[in-house]
Amino acid sequence: MTEEYSQSKNSVNEEIRNHYIRKNLKDVVLLSLQKSGKDINRLTYEDLAPIDQFHTQGIKSTIDLAQHVTVESDYHVLDAGSGIGGPARYLAFKFGCKVTGLDLLDEYCEVAEVLTKKIGLDTLVNFRQGDATRMPFGNAMFDLLWTQHASMNIANKTQFYSEMHRVLKCSENAGDRRGQGKLVIYDIYKGNNYDETSFHFPVPWASHPSLSFLIYPEDALEILHDAGFKEIIWDDKTEDALKWFREMTERFREDGGASRQLGLELIVGPKWQTMVKNLLENYEEGNIVLVQGVFKCKE
């Protein structure tokens, strides 16, 4: 990596951090949980689901994805782009497995650690700050890789998916599980009518075009194949996304979100309603699609 490229990448990463971070996020989350009637010393993963599943369809999509793969209690799972830790905590609670979350934001990792300890899963779940294109892990460390709504902020998809393959247990030093590792993907891609001149910003992953790195689903598949993966499932979930965002938009229209004491507004901030409106329009106009995938290592 050249020094010039490294500096450019670091600059983009800093802009991405600035896009996501909300001041005093830990205090905002804990205070909002208290105000909604939760006992913050006796929280459950269900209590956190309205705010810690930062992706389309929330906890439902995480549960649905988990039904497509085998997860054993002795597995070590990596959640790349883990946010404040919702999917990681769900997987650990549901299956008793060890989970490591990786996220670009120190602040997200800090909040994730606090919430994980609050629900008593800190012996199973931990979080690392880091760049998903330069993962701070050794080869063949994980039995399952998990990523929901992360790739939209990653420009170098080739490096991202290559790193995924490197850390998954499907290389020659993976021991008795060689070739059994799986990769689960739930991401947004360019739609057939994608037009950068008419794309609606801001959206949850980007306030402006320079932070958005969408590609077409077929291009993602090609990169994944080249990285050493073969798809088991590759399904378009756009209709599900449309239904979910239409329902959310209708709630906002009726009460301005006032009835929701807990929601992703806490994580994103006051622009959340505008982002939801823009996402719905981008889906309806064919600018974006939502795809769910499960991959195995090529033999």
Residues (pLDDT < 70) of the chain are 1-9, 171-179, 255-261
For residue 261, the model assigns a pLDDT of 62
The rounded mean pLDDT for the chain is 91
For residue 171, the model assigns a pLDDT of 52
Domains along the chain with CATH numbers: 3-192+214-238+290-297 (3.40.50.150)
Q: Which DSSP helix (H) or strand (E) runs through 12?
A: helix 3-20
Check: CB of residue 189 under 8 Å from CB of residue 214. yes
For residue 5, the model assigns a pLDDT of 44
Q: What is the 3-state secondary structure (H, E, C) of 236-265?
A: ECHHHHHHHHHHHHHHHHHHCCCCCCCCCH
Give residue-wise pLDDT tens across range 274-295. 998 999 999 999 999 999 999 9
Q: Which DSSP helix (H) or strand (E) runs through 187?
A: strand 182-190
Q: How far is CA 97 from the centre of its chain?
A: 19
For residue 178, the model assigns a pLDDT of 45
For residue 23, the model assigns a pLDDT of 87
- What are the residues whose beta carbons fall under 8 Å from the beta carbon of 226, sequence distance 6 or more? 158
For residue 74, the model assigns a pLDDT of 96
For residue 204, the model assigns a pLDDT of 94
Check: CB of residue 291 under 8 Å from CB of residue 234. yes
Check: CB of residue 66 under 8 Å from CB of residue 148. no
Alpha-carbon dihedral sign for residues 55, 56, 61, 66: negative
